[in-house]
Amino acid sequence: MVSDFLFADDDSEVVETLESNWKILIVDDEPEVHAVTKLALSDFSFQHKGLEFYSAYSGEEAKKLIHEHPDAAIILLDVVMETDDAGLRVAEYIRQQAQNNFVRIILRTGQPGQAPERQVIVNYDINDYKSKTELTAQKLFTVIMASLRSYRDIIAIEENRKGLEKIISASTNLFSIHSMESFISGIVQQLTSVISSGREAMYATTLVANGIEEGNGDLIVVAGQGDFADAEGKAVKSVLNEDMMGAFITALNNKEIVYGDDYVIAYCQSKSCKGSLLYIAGLNDELSPTDKHLIELFTNSVQLAYDNVLLTRDLEDTQREIVMRLSEAVECRSKETGNHVKRVSLYCRSLALKLGMSEDEADKIMRASPLHDLGKIGISDDILHKPAKLSDEERTDMKEHALLGFNLLQGSDRPLIKAGAIIAKDHHEKWDGSGYPEGKKGEDIHVYGRIVALADVYDALRNERCYKDAWPKQKVIDYIAGQAGKHFDPTIVGHFLDSIDEFEAILNKYPDQE
């Protein structure tokens, strides 16, 4: 019957679609086609989502539309519009230019002879081919349902791929907190892609670690996606409503998995904190036994990995604190305050970054630089505390501290200690070869030593010592600039001159104390 065909004449008003859900692009130069398509699919629903329609009336408009809506699920594409092959050109553009391999392309034509089905299917990456005369309302429903299922599965595979990519990337450095957060984010992404859920999910943990309350015990978002993608680092109570926050507290206090109508909150046992929670919202259907097993597996495993990372971080922090306190003890023996080593470490990090070093390398220099004067532990108090100029013999004794520090630190396999040994030996070498202990010259001096040399001198000159008053800012700038190519690496001097305000800010933030 003619009335059964979708593209028969119809004067009915278009029924409004449900609120934004699956995006459908309609590309056809006949306005009636747009109206009837919307009418036929007005009550369509898949996984509790309706359809949201966007229209284009030419091939050129369609190209703009696909860029504006890269998350479109289906494009109903006419072949003949402004040209006989306009639709085919759009299909080619979507796959090759826009690089969109997800949207399902359903080619519709009122003139099958213009684009033979066999030739089109072979030559173009389309997903279905329909003649308008055969596409009844029921058949349109069927093809849309099949295409949405295909799109859903493709997106799930893509989410799995992205999650696996995050896991692999983070696995190269699992003992970095940043990488661990990426690791957890990747697992959450994979988990939500394989169970029947939406994309809204978060993983949150308390700030109470190792029995010591670092904050007020708030749950903090470690990883989030969907509506919670920008919530990482925020308190959970700031991103959830009061009712949902109550469910979170229940899951945390009872140490259980809470299944709601369209969400799940899973408690994750932890050795290092009060506990962690996995929250997945927007569940489309009741969770299957397999889905629940995956969630339980996550809760039993992921926090153990996170606890191990926190333990490693605690060991690293302990190592760094010991280095800093040892260095401060040496400085105190020299009747300096200890803030000297803190300031020098921050100057060094700044210079290292400006030299193009990585964040990790800059952090290593920052943490090792406090060891630069460790050898002073073997220098007599009479020399260290002398308020007047040292004699030649005393100066020779003082110079011994560079090799003393190196000898104390050399032989370690730990990167931090190895860097400290290099710095202890080379930070008194000079660019022109007149330094000590080995008289190295130019780039033969390790870059760590060259960086610490300038940072150490700047701080010594800008602060009062037992043998001198503090120099004013401009006098120090003029002195260091004049020593480029003599005492200091000219390139590092250039970066210092560009960073003087940053150096002064560090100096003022960590002043000497009585």
CB 429 within 8 A of CB 440: yes
List of long-range contacts for 213-217, beta carbons under 8 Å, 24+ apart? 217/274
3-state secondary structure at position 30: coil
φ/ψ of residue 308, rounded to 5? -65, -35
374/369 Cα distance (integer angstroms): 10
DSSP string computed for 133-198:
TT-BHHHHHHHHHHHHHHHHHHHHHHHHHHHHHHHHHHHTTTTSHHHHHHHHHHHHHHHHHHTT--
For the chain, report the end-to-end CA distance as a whole number of angstroms: 98
Residue type, 333: R
Q: Which regions of 68-143 does DSSP assign to beta strands (E)?
A: 74-78, 104-109, 128-131
Show Cβ contacts of residue 472 under 8 Å, excluding neighbours closer than 6 positions: none
pLDDT reported for residue 273: 58
Q: Pick the catalytic residue from 376, 425, 430, 440.
A: 376
* Mean pLDDT score, 461-478: 88
Question: Between these two residues, 397 and 6, which has the higher pLDDT value?
Answer: 397
Peptide bond into 437 cis (omega under 30): yes
Question: Between these two residues, 257 and 209, which has the higher pLDDT value?
Answer: 257
Residue 505 has pLDDT above 80, yes or no: yes
List beta partners, residue 224: 202
Per-residue pLDDT reduced to its tens digit, 421-456 = 999 999 999 999 999 999 999 999 999 999 999 999
CB 204 within 8 A of CB 221: yes
- Order of strands, sheet of 104-109, starting from the edge strand that comes earlier in the sequence: 51-56, 22-27, 74-78, 104-109, 128-131
Q: Would you list the domain boundaries of the chain?
A: 2-154, 173-308, 334-509
456/188 Cα distance (integer angstroms): 47
Q: Residue 274's pLDDT band (boundaries 50, 70, 90)?
A: low
List beta partners, residue 468: 465
| DSSP code of residue 95 | I
131/108 Cα distance (integer angstroms): 6
Closest CA to 236 of 224, 262, 259: 224
437/99 Cα distance (integer angstroms): 61
441/454 Cα distance (integer angstroms): 15
| DSSP code of residue 281 | E
Q: Give me the half-sphere count of Cα atoms (radius 13 Å) on the Cβ side of residue 474.
A: 0
Tokens 């503090």, residue located:
470
**Radius of gyration of the chain measured on its C-alpha atoms:** 34
pLDDT reported for residue 321: 72
266/504 Cα distance (integer angstroms): 49
pLDDT reported for residue 10: 40
Q: Where are the alpha helices (DSSP H) in 175-288?
A: 177-194, 242-254
Asked whether the domain spanning 173-308 has the same topology as the one spanning 2-154, the reply is: no
Q: Where are the alpha helices (DSSP H) in 77-136?
A: 86-92, 117-123
Residue 18 has pLDDT above 50, yes or no: no
pLDDT reported for residue 345: 92
Residue 168 has pLDDT above 60, yes or no: no
334-509 placed in CATH 1.10.3210.10 = yes
Q: Residue 15's pLDDT band (boundaries 50, 70, 90)?
A: very low
CB 355 within 8 A of CB 447: yes
Tokens 């009747």, residue located:
335
pLDDT reported for residue 209: 40
* Mean pLDDT score, 60-81: 93
| DSSP code of residue 97 | I
Distances 165 to 162, 179, 227, 232, 298 between C-alpha atoms, Å: 5, 12, 21, 19, 18
376 is catalytic: yes
Q: What is the CA 225 to chain-centroid distance, rounded?
A: 12
* Mean pLDDT score, 19-36: 88
Tokens 């173009």, residue located:
124
Give domain 173-308's CATH number out of 3.40.920.10, 3.40.50.300, 3.30.450.40, 3.90.1180.10.
3.30.450.40
| Architecture of the domain delimited by 2-154 | 3-Layer(aba) Sandwich (3.40)
Residue 16 has pLDDT above 50, yes or no: no
103/24 Cα distance (integer angstroms): 9
3-state secondary structure at position 356: coil
66/54 Cα distance (integer angstroms): 10
Q: Residue 228's pLDDT band (boundaries 50, 70, 90)?
A: confident
Per-residue pLDDT reduced to its tens digit, 118-163 = 778 878 888 898 888 778 889 999 999 999 999 988 987 887 677 6
